[in-house]
Structure 1
């Protein structure tokens, strides 16, 4: 199965590479700036030994970074495979691509209008990404991050958590009999292992760990959060799963995440907002004209009719 997926992915990549000439005849629309900044466009070159040559095609070097870029374009399930397994097929495809490109240069296609147009559009996309990245990096300041973090804490207040155990049975009479045993000194964990219909919790003596109120079904959550630490339910609690006997072992306030824990999430949201603001600011000072697909003027929007004044009511 994996080999079939990988072969299909490589064939698709090869087809895309060989279809570039046809694609260039129909210029692609320039995409909107990416919401999340791309890696630096002008990163410092890595040391030579950090990016070794893995092949040469008529003297032109193919580097390990070329392999990594191609692998990054493959489907996720293929990317998860060990590189050693897919490397032979990837290097073969890179060699084929180099040979096709070399043939195109020898045919003097690099100077054709179609290729020049495609190169210009690729350059434009790279400049877009670099500009967005520059703006994002300059605007996400420590003060902005702290402001976003404080807003996050307000929107996600600390919640109360309960640590509880339960015994689940099918019938109310069974549950009441277990409660009676517990009142006589029965061991809750032992009874949970012997009688509970919840196999996962039963293995842990009925323990459910800590949970917030919204993570449990309503009747169970209402009962557990109304109980005190150390208390066992005096009456069985019915849910769609059966009848529960609940023991509350602890209560606490859920700790809120630190800035470092939510920093990637906050940076992503700030980046999206910054991109929107950058584009909005650029449009405010730009002269933008749009036309219909055939190049004709856009139809003018008709103004909404003014509301009619109400006639006075007759007595």
Structure 2
């Protein structure tokens, strides 16, 4: 039985390899195969990749894009652009990025299991709802500034938006006066910012909340209650969040073990 299963596996692998090697086109004698199409989509989410490869029009557009790339590369090599300093710098940058991503994939990839994903979901259930929040914020550079402004905006006569326009380090504050519109689970805010907002009631002033941008004072202008989302509805979000958490933790470990010296004061 085991021998039979192994034989089936070998046949499957061989047939897949043969399919990947089937010529789709030739460009000046160079064969373009299914494998070239898949390589062109490297880094794309599997679902999107499958949709493109299974749709006739999308496949044709992708094949044309690969052919055009081959034409450009051939011409660039003829002009010896691959021997320039710009090319060498770009290749060194690619090498560093690729090795870094490969390390993270090999070290952390096995930790993103179904068990780990469901455990992460259970630990952060309050985050996964369709609730939405109309929010305003003031961004400050230091914790001391943020604490001072937080006290002032909580005073009865305080005008939050006027203070945002005057004090916020957010470049958009001069135009929107700190108003960020509605935020929900899919909004492109950093996790610590969203976690601070989720569950807050109308009129609540939050913060200081620390992010990579600085310290935020956040005001909840309006809250629209939604429903709780089950695991299947947010699995794609959980995968991204867990991967980011694992990456951040791994980098923290590397920083602790490394000797890092700044030549100028860190801003």
Q: Shorter chain as normaliser: what TM range?
A: 0.3 to 0.5
Calculate the TM-score normalised by the size of structure 1.
Answer: 0.37
Q: Which has the larger radius of gyration?
A: 1
Q: TM-score, normalised by structure 2?
A: 0.43
Q: Which has the higher helix share?
A: 2
